Structure 1
Amino acid sequence: AISIIQFKLEGEVIKRRPEFEMDHRLLLDKINYEEGTINLKGNIYKLKDTNFPTIDPKNPYKLTKEEEIVIDKLVSSFKNSEKLQKHVSFLFSKGSIYLVSNGNLLIHGCVPLNEDKSFMKMKLQGQEYSGRELMDKMETLVREGYLFKDKTNQKQYGMDIMWYLWTGKCSSLFGKDDMTTFERYFIAEKETHKENKNPYFTLREDEDVCNKIFKEFELDTNESHIINGHVPVESKNGESPIKANGRIIAIDGGFSRAYQKKTGIAGYTLIYNSQSLQLVSHDPFTSTEEAIVNESDILSTTMLVEHKLSRKTVKDTDAGKKLLDEVDDLKLLLTAYKKGIIKEV
């Protein structure tokens, strides 16, 4: 029942935002409710469940009165949850779509690319964006959705963008062409469940592509790295977390137990110090009992990603550059005081 509510509400967003190009995800109107089938991309599939008591076939995306009550209560619970609001406030005060730190680019999913290695383009509010500009624009819009007052166009658009970041093909956080939730719930045929990853995840093995991304974010093509998450590295099948000759470091090793069968390990820890970059992989922790009986603990393996002969100093870091700027400001302040431009307080 809650899934049907989800599909109805998603339908409202898709219809409201044609620039999202997600009409293919409008599926409730593709169902033949009498025959219990759906027309999906020109193919007819039998549905595993044909009981849709909350759907009006003539207006499938309209919420029933009872569904509206459910949503109103959920919205109220979310807005008035002190803990949730504290977490969301932390997300917006500390988080970002991407982070450039000490010459490295940290991204959760990907920098959306086309098969020809060009940056994916998307039109937002009448203007076309791609690459870093697209990621910056999406972050700005999402913050407007959080900070603007209710019942304003900016807030509604920002909230719609937040949803798009979760499921849209040009989202750097999602990194796929489709989220096939409906298909997994209602269609048995596995081919309909496929979610194609963005070309980035194949092209990132190419050093030229990495260099193109570094230039887009104004980073050093010789020194910088891309620190990547989102897609678990299948270590047990021989996949390496270090890609593109060390330019890319994929740090998603399945920290969550649910992914450990796929990865074969229990996650990575990236250690960055003044002279080296190291990646530590952790073996899964099975149980307290086994650890006591076998006298075993969590085992870790360290891989040296990069080693510098000359150490980095504090002034080489982002924090050091801020300190140097503060020193310059203090010197200017002191000069102004000595010249009598400002008075002692």
Structure 2
Amino acid sequence: MEKLELKYLERLSQLYPTIAKASTEIINLQAILNLPKGTEHFLTDIHGEYEAFSHVLKNGSGSVRRKINDVFGHTLNEQDKRSLATLIYYPKEKMELIKKTEEDIMDWYKITLYRLIEVCKEAASKYTRSKVRKALPPDFAYVIEELITEKSDLTDKEAYYEQIIETIITIGRAEVFIIALSEVIQRLVVDHMHILGDIYDRGPGPHEIMNKLERYHSLDIQWGNHDIVWMGAAAGQTTCIANVIRICARYANLDILEDGYGINLLPLATFSLIHYKDDPCSCFKIKGGNDLNPAEISLQMKMHKAISVIQFKLEGQLLMRRKEFHMANRALLDSIDYANGTIRLDGKEYKLLDSNFPTIDPDNPYELSSEETLVVERLTSAFTNCEKLQRHMNLLLKKGSLYKVYNNNLLYHGCIPLNEDGSFKAVDIYGKKYKGKALYEVLEAYVRKAFVAIDENEREKGKDILWFIWSSPGSPLFGKQKMATFERYFLAEKETHEEKKNPYYRLLEDETVINRIMREFGLEEGCAHIVNGHVPVHHAAGESPIKCNGKVLVIDGGFSKAYQKETGIAGYTLIYNSWGMILAAHEPFTSAEDAITRETDILSDSILVKRSMIRKTVEDTDNGRKLKENIEELKALLAAYRSGTIIEKE
């Protein structure tokens, strides 16, 4: 036996100090391998839509309703199934309504508790008792475990279980017990969740989504471009800070910064009122903001313009500092003829829709004014010192990555940068060329350096790469020739607004290209999938989210309300359970109140992507492979005990 192997086995013996304990663990792990595979839940491009996100978490994209159908089949009518599902999603609120109309509430409690126990049994059936026990609320753990482990054929204990139910009701604990059971079901129907990026921007509640994710039992996150720009802002990268504030201003979401994160925007507001006092800022209209009065809209438009000008200045400074980004053509302020109000782009002259730039020095257009410098300094301090924002970004760092391979599925938000012929595009990152998987890995390394690098130069390179990922043509999260922010604000000509996509999106149906990507990331071509979001699928126009004969699943269907007119739905989610993959298309979510009172669910249509004739078990998963490795290591430990190489400790 090699010295290194012996040292490892000696350490393992500290956890399993006897033949009996090592043997018991082998038996336990071998049994787990034969349990059904846990359900995975995939969501992407949530864009701050907290209420819709929260509802989808509660219903598990239809997983709760499927459990109810599995348990009750035709023994309950559709109305009763819908009522039971709504109760599981919103137990406290639903019971308040039921108490107002139900004549015999005690009988309703009894019937409901029995039904919930049966659904809970079904949801818990694919897990070990130990795992289920950890998911139970401490106050009711023993009682719930007793009830959901009841065997239907043990009639001699029937009175025992009935007495538990009766006692729960008579001592006035039925309602809190129903709430506890409902939350356990929500917890157990999904074993692991994947968020494929863009938690932030557009919608009003990204901070609330992050609060919820902090408490979620098992998840991973693939960063989206909008998440990355917020990470850059939290790291103190000033161009990212300006972008974050500009987007919040554009979508009437400045209260996310002020109320959600406690970031003081008064310096920016004061600056805007002074320098854009008489400017209507008509090119900087607010999207949404129906609750704002005219004065608030006027102020936010001024703030919108002020931060946009600051952004263009900061980006110009960055591009002059980072010539290796090869994006000098996106520094546009020195292409403006300030006297005539025109700009020259690609050899053509255009008239600006707005030529009032009171803070720009035409001779040095990228230099911040002294007042702008003070505003940026105060905003940078506010972002970097916000405890809640830093905590949320830390969650993105701990649970997140640019890509993930999980159970033979490749997950990422955007694209793999490609050349026109479908080959991997080489991208220059600080003087070296990277492509394919290596590009993802070097970019991720620099993202982490922005937060943890000791060397100040490496930390600054990491901060700047966050903006690069946000807006560079070579970024796998942006994937377009340019970000036409300036043109969309200042030019009427639509051709200047075009943001040409990377060839990846044109080649999604090309099996040769997709197989090449799968091989690059070590996937088995025959049964693997690529799952990504970023570009909304136009469901209303007949576009399918299933590409390349099922090998690629694009699951951005418009979770954000800003996209729903284009897509015709309110997002896709994907469920991967032990029987296969189900893609769910969602209806627009109205409100939690509507879901409770009318018992509506936002699941509108389910598409079976893949059906397995043989139910997948834990053995077929990545975790199963790790468990099998653990079993082999424990078998080696048993052999060492039995040969006398290692002595039992007890």
| Alpha-carbon shift at residue 49 of structure 1 (Å) | 1.2
1:153 maps to: 457
CA separation in 2, counterparts of 1:285 and 1:156?
42
Amino acid at match of 1:166: W
Residue 165, structure 1, aligned to residue 464, structure 2: no
1:104 aligns with 2:409: yes
The match for 1:226 is 530
Q: 1 CA distance for matches of 2:647 and 2:414? A: 50
Which of residues 309, 313, 318 in structure 1 aligns to 2:613? 309
For the 8 Å contact 1:271–1:279, the answer to whether it is kept is yes
Q: Does residue 207 in structure 1 map to residue 207 in structure 2?
A: no
**Aligned residue runs from structure 1 range 54-133, under 5 A:** 54-133=359-438
Structure having the higher strand fraction is: 1
Q: Percent identity?
A: 56
User: Residue 345 of structure 2 corresponds to which residue in structure 1?
Assistant: 40
Indicate which of 307, 324, 343 corresponds to 1:19. 324
For residue 328 of structure 1, report the CA deviation from its aligned partner.
2.8
- Residue identity matched to 1:235: H
SS of equivalent to 2:605: strand
Letter in 1 for 2:393: V
Match of 2:561 among 257, 260, 274: 257
Shift of 1:122: 1.2
Give 3-state SS (helix, strand or coil) of 2:419's partner.
Answer: coil
Partner of 1:245: 549
SS at structure 2 position matched to 1:10: helix
Could you tell me the TM-score, scaled by structure 1's length? 0.94
Tell me, yes or no, if structure 1 residue 49 matches structure 2 residue 354: yes
**Match status 1:2 vs 2:307:** yes
Distance in 2, Cα, partners of 1:295 & 1:323: 42
Aligned residue runs from structure 1 range 289-304, under 5 A:
296-304=600-608
1 or 2, which has the higher helix percentage? 2
1:284 is aligned to 2:605: no
Q: Deviations over 1:11-39 (max 9, x none)?
A: 12211222211011010000111111101
Whole-Å separation in 2 of the counterparts to 1:305 and 1:70? 51
Contact residue 337 and residue 344 of structure 1 kept, 8 A: no
Q: 2: CA distance between counterparts of 1:195 and 1:97?
A: 22
SS at match of 1:160: helix
The alpha-carbon deviation at position 54 of structure 1 amounts to 1.1
Q: CA deviation at 1:330?
A: 3.0
SS in 2 for 1:19: helix
Alignment CA distance shift 1:144-1:288 (3 Å): closer
- Asked whether the equivalents of residues 177 and 195 of structure 1 are also in contact (C-alpha less than 8 Å), the reply is yes
Q: Pick from 483, 487, 503: which aligns with 1:183?
A: 487
1:63-120 superposed Cα distances (whole Å, 9 cap, x missing partner): 1111111111111111111110011000011101011110010110111111111111
CA distance in 2, matches of 1:6, 1:47: 18
- How far off its partner does 1:290 sit? 7.5
d(CA) in 2 for partners of 1:248, 1:73: 45
2:573 is matched by which residue type in structure 1?
A: T
Report the structure number with the largest CA radius of gyration. Answer: 2
What secondary structure, in the 3-state scheme, does the structure 2 residue paired with 1:239 have? coil
Q: Which moved more, 1:236-245 or 1:47-56?
A: 47-56
The answer as to whether partners of 2:484 and 2:499 remain within 8 angstroms in 1 is: yes
The Cα of 1:325 is off from its aligned counterpart by 2.2
Q: What are structure 2's unaligned runs of at least 5 residues?
A: 1-305
User: Which structure is richer in relative contact order (CA contacts within 8 A, separation 6 or more)?
Assistant: 2
Residue pair 2:584, 2:603 contacting (<8 A) in 1 also: no
Match of 1:268 in 2: 572
Q: For residues 327 and 294 of structure 1, do their structure 2 counterparts lie closer, same or farther at Cα, with a shift above 3 Å needed?
A: closer
SS at match of 1:203: coil
- Between 100-109 and 313-322, report the one with greater CA deviation: 313-322
Tell me which moved more, 94-103 or 327-336.
Answer: 327-336
CA gap of 1:336–1:2, structure 2 versus 1, over 3 A, is same
Aligned to 2:630: 326
Matched residue of 2:474: which SS?
coil
Deviation, structure 1 residue 310: 2.2
Is 2:441 the partner of 1:136? yes
**Superposition deviation, residue 145 in structure 1:** 1.2
Distance 1:5 1:343 in 2: 69
Instruction: Return closer, same or farther for 1:323/1:294 CA change in 2, 3 Å cut-off.
Output: closer
Q: Distance in 1 between matches of 2:349 and 2:641?
A: 80
Q: TM-score, normalised by structure 2?
A: 0.51
Contact 2:313 2:365 in 1 (8 A): yes
Q: Is the 8 A contact 2:423 2:513 kept in 1?
A: no
What's the offset of the Cα at 1:147?
1.0
Q: 1:342 to 1:140 in 2, by over 3 A?
A: farther
Cα distance change, pair 13–333 in 1 and its aligned pair in 2 (3 A): farther
Question: Amino acid of the residue matched to residue 351 of structure 2?
Answer: K
The alignment of Structure 1 onto Structure 2 pairs a total of residues equal to 344
The whole-number CA distance in structure 2 between the counterparts of 1:86 and 1:35 is 48
Secondary structure at the residue paired with 1:222? coil
1:132, 1:292 → 2: CA distance?
46
Q: Distance in 2 between matches of 1:289 and 1:340?
A: 66
